[in-house]
């Protein structure tokens, strides 16, 4: 762990490489823009630039964020060398941008190679590195080692939980630069739920419950359906495509057996993703029209509305552990990708990667009542405000 005195933060390069992490960073960027400091420079890389995964750089532009640099990394194929070559490209490209832009600080979120590229570019060019979501534990995932590496490189730490903050300090982080801010993923979710509650009060003339508010989000693609819908989000995590295809097939078959419509989101670019895509394609071929909707990407608002309206979330995404309990949506966490991550509430059911275990867990989740949490171990949905304040030198 480096031990150098923190400089004043004047201009921050924010690195985003995936649709999911962009949705989390957006609340931080909005808070920084509202207070007009420090200045921001957005660096877009990774999955955002790949047509195969929806070319979500277009979403960033539609949201009105000026992009300071686009740095191509992966090609998007399923070879292990693609990740290694992509990392090298990312480090070089982001470093060149930092040198010409005079950014004094780099901010990254999470544990993927895009974040690692930004971190390495920061430290090798002498910039301050700020890291969001360090200290989390998910030992089943390949990216676990990347997150710890970024934590060891970082100067400023924005932890999602108290447990994560303690782990960062045990790893050598300066306690004065370790801040518990909560998970940014709850920020926009809190706003959507609050807006739905206000709408329910206005229409009914009486106080609304969180579940009533959620029902008013019926404009979402999930709630518009007459049948209950399962939101399916399953990511490869570095294994052979055949293994990932088998597990995804078990998941899709279990959801179909329960009579639920399927809204299926494309996986990330990690090794083995072609197996997930093969399972999706085969499932769609076998199903009647309207049974399955497959999307390459959803905007953050679309995704959160789908999560709120869904009968259940199933897969191995961190949103099943962090966001789903806050929304009150039951979730089935399949396999070990999220092993060790702190559960966000009592609405999570864990399943082994077998057809029998997945079916049983799904039935259990469907029987659970919706229990939205106004505060969870991941905070209260105001992480972005706290991070922006800390970067500006104010107390959170």
pLDDT band of residue 238 (cuts 50, 70, 90) is confident
Q: Is 202 exposed, middle or buried (0-12, 13-18, 19+ CB in 10 A)?
A: exposed
Q: Residue 206: its pLDDT value, please?
A: 46
Full 3-state SS string of the chain: CCCCCCCCCCEEEEEECCHHHHHHHHHHHHHHHHHCCCEEEEEEEHHHHCHHHCCCHHHHHHCCCCEEEEECCCCCCCCHHHHHHHHHHHHHHHHHHHHHHCCCEEEEECCCHHHHHHHHHHHHCCCEEEEECCCCCCCCCCHHHHHHHHHHHCCEEEECCHHHHHHHHHCCCCHHHEEECCCHHHHHHHHHHHHHHHHHHHHHCCCCCHHHHHHCCCCCCCCCCCCCEEEEECCCCCCCHHHHHHHHHHHHHHHHHCCCEEEEECCCCCCCHHHHHHHHHHHHHHCCCCCEEEECCCCHHHHHHHHHHCCEEEECCHHHCCHHHHHCCCEEEECCCCCCCCCCCCCEEEECCCHHHHHHHHHHHHCCCCCCCCCECCECCCHHHHHHHHHCCCCC
pLDDT at 96 > cutoff 70:
yes
Of 284 and 197, more confident: 284
What mean pLDDT is predicted for residues 305-311?
95
What mean pLDDT is predicted for residues 339-354?
94
What's the pTM?
A: 0.86
Of 80 and 26, more confident: 26
Q: Residue 255: its pLDDT value, please?
A: 98
What mean pLDDT is predicted for residues 74-102?
92
Pick from 274, 257, 287, 276: nearest CA to 334 = 276
- Two tokens, residue 341: 């991550």
pLDDT per residue as tens digits for the range 121-177: 999 999 999 999 999 987 665 677 899 999 999 999 999 999 999 999 999 999 999
Q: Residue 393: its pLDDT value, please?
A: 83
Strand order in the sheet with 67-71: 67-71, 39-45, 11-16, 105-109, 128-132, 156-159, 178-180
Sign, Cα dihedral of 121, 22, 350, 242:
negative
pLDDT at 279 > cutoff 60:
yes
pLDDT per residue as tens digits for the range 1-60: 554 545 677 899 999 999 889 999 999 999 999 988 789 999 999 999 999 888 999 999
pLDDT at 222 > cutoff 60:
no
pLDDT per residue as tens digits for the range 170-213: 999 999 999 999 999 999 999 999 876 555 444 444 443 333 33
Q: Residue 265: its pLDDT value, please?
A: 96
pLDDT band of residue 214 (cuts 50, 70, 90) is very low
pLDDT at 217 > cutoff 80:
no
pLDDT band of residue 219 (cuts 50, 70, 90) is very low
Q: Residue 36: its pLDDT value, please?
A: 81
**Mean per-residue pLDDT over the chain, rounded:** 89
Distance of CA 186 to the CA centre of its chain: 10
What mean pLDDT is predicted for residues 274-291?
96
What mean pLDDT is predicted for residues 210-226?
44
pLDDT at 395 > cutoff 90:
no
User: What domains can be seen in the chain, in order of their start residue?
Assistant: 11-182+381-391 (3.40.50.2000), 187-366 (3.40.50.2000)
Omega before 3 cis (within 30°)?
A: no
Contact by Cβ (8 Å): 199, 213: yes
pLDDT per residue as tens digits for the range 56-73: 999 999 999 999 999 999
pLDDT band of residue 277 (cuts 50, 70, 90) is very high
What mean pLDDT is predicted for residues 328-341?
94
């Amino acid at each position: 762990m480096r031990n150098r005195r923190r400089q004043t933060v004047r201009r921050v390069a924010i690195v985003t490489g995936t649709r999911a992490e962009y949705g989390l960073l957006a609340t931080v960027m909005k808070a920084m823009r509202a207070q007009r400091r420090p200045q921001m420079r957005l660096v877009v890389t990774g999955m955002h630039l790949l047509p195969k995964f929806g070319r979500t750089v277009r979403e960033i532009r539609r949201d009105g964020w000026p992009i300071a640099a686009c740095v191509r990394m992966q090609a998007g194929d399923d070879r292990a060398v693609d990740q290694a070559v992509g990392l090298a490209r990312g480090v070089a490209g982001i470093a060149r941008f930092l040198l010409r832009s005079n950014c004094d600080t780099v901010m990254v979120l999470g544990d993927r190679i895009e974040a690692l590229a930004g971190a390495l570019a920061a430290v090798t060019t002498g910039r301050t590195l700020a890291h969001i979501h360090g200290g989390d534990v998910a030992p089943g995932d390949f990216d676990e080692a990347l997150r710890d590496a970024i934590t060891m490189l970082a100067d400023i730490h924005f932890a999602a939980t108290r447990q994560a903050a303690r782990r960062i300090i045990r790893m050598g982080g300066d306690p004065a630069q370790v801040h518990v801010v909560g998970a940014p993923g709850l920020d926009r979710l809190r706003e959507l739920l609050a807006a739905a509650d206000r709408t329910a009060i206005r229409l009914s003339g009486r106080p609304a419950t969180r579940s009533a508010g959620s029902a008013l989000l019926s404009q979402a693609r999930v709630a518009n359906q007459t049948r209950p819908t399962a939101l399916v989000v399953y990511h490869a995590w570095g294994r052979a495509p055949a293994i990932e295809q088998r597990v995804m097939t078990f998941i899709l078959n279990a959801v179909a057996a329960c009579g639920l419509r399927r809204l299926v989101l494309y996986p990330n670019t990690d090794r083995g993703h072609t197996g997930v895509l093969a399972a999706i394609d085969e499932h769609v071929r076998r199903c009647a029209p309207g049974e399955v909707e497959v999307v390459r990407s959803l905007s953050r608002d679309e995704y959160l509305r789908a999560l709120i309206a869904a009968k259940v979330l199933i897969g191995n995404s961190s949103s099943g552990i962090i966001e789903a309990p806050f929304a009150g949506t039951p979730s089935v966490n399949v396999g070990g990708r999220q092993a060790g991550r702190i559960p966000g509430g009592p609405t999570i059911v864990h399943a082994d990667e077998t057809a029998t275990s997945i079916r049983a867990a799904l039935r259990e989740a469907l029987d659970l009542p919706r229990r939205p949490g106004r505060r969870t171990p991941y905070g209260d949905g105001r992480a972005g405000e706290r991070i922006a304040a800390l970067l500006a030198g104010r107390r959170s």
